[in-house]
Structure 1
Amino acid sequence: MDKKQAYQDKFYAQMDEWKAQISQLRAKAEKAQADAQLKYMEEVEELKAKQKQAEAQMHKLRDAQGEAWKDMTAGVESAWDELGEAMKRARKRFS
């Protein structure tokens, strides 16, 4: 397995985990009382938007030719870190 494939596999494994967590948070939001539900649903939508940004960066990297993918890792990691931090904050608020 080459480095690019390993990088992509790591990213997609983490993304699958975060997708599952977002689904769990959405379920909690749907069960919350009306005033809390709105706040939770906004948070879930923000997480989904960050998830889409991270996936878009990863798709660009995946489509990069040759060694150009290495130059794109900064954008992927920035989006990844942003989503990771948002997930941490959301899990704290939802617990």
Structure 2
Amino acid sequence: MTDKKDFADSIRQKLEDWDYQLDRLTARLGDKRDEWREEAKQRIADIEERRDALEAKLEKLESHGEDAWQDIKAGVELAWDGLKTGLLAARSEFEDGK
């Protein structure tokens, strides 16, 4: 297995885990006040956009040869950090009972 494949597999696994977390967070929105629910829906939409951007970068990484993947890796890592930060912030805010 190549480093590129290992890296891509790792990010794909993280995406699956975060998809599950995002689904759980979305399902729990019904328990919150209407005004908070609308704000949370907007934050979730932002997170979903970040997730889709990460998926696109990951597909780009997977389609490039071994020589080019290191250049794309930094963008994938940056997109992952943005997705992770957004979801952790939303989950923290949600759990604080805003």
Q: Shorter chain as normaliser: what TM range?
A: over 0.9
Runs of 4 or more above 2 Å deviation? none
Distance 1:15 1:31 in 2: 26
- Number of residue pairs the alignment of both structures matches: 95
* Residue 70 of structure 1, CA deviation: 1.1
Q: Counterpart of 1:36?
A: 36
What is the one-letter code of the residue matched to 2:79?
A: A
Cα pair 1:54 1:79 within 8 Å, conserved: yes
- For residues 19-40 of structure 1, the C-alpha deviation after alignment (integer angstroms, 9 at most, x for no partner) is 0011011111233221111011
Distance 1:20 1:79 in 2: 18
* Residue 76 of structure 1, CA deviation: 0.5
Distance 1:66 1:5 in 2: 10
Distance 1:31 1:67 in 2: 49
Q: Counterpart of 1:90?
A: 90
Cα pair 1:47 1:87 within 8 Å, conserved: yes
Q: For structure 1, which segment, 80-89 or 27-36, has the greater mean C-alpha deviation from structure 2 after superposition?
A: 27-36
What is the one-letter code of the residue matched to 1:78?
A: L
TM-score, length-normalised on structure 1?
A: 0.94
Cα pair 1:28 1:94 within 8 Å, conserved: no
SS of 1:65's partner is coil
Q: Which has the higher contact order (CA 8 A, sep 6+)?
A: 2
Unaligned segments of structure 2, at least 5 residues: none
Unaligned segments of structure 1, at least 5 residues: none
RMSD: 1.0
TM-score, length-normalised on structure 2?
A: 0.91
Q: Counterpart of 1:16?
A: 16
Q: What fraction of aligned residue pairs are identical, expressed as a percent?
A: 26
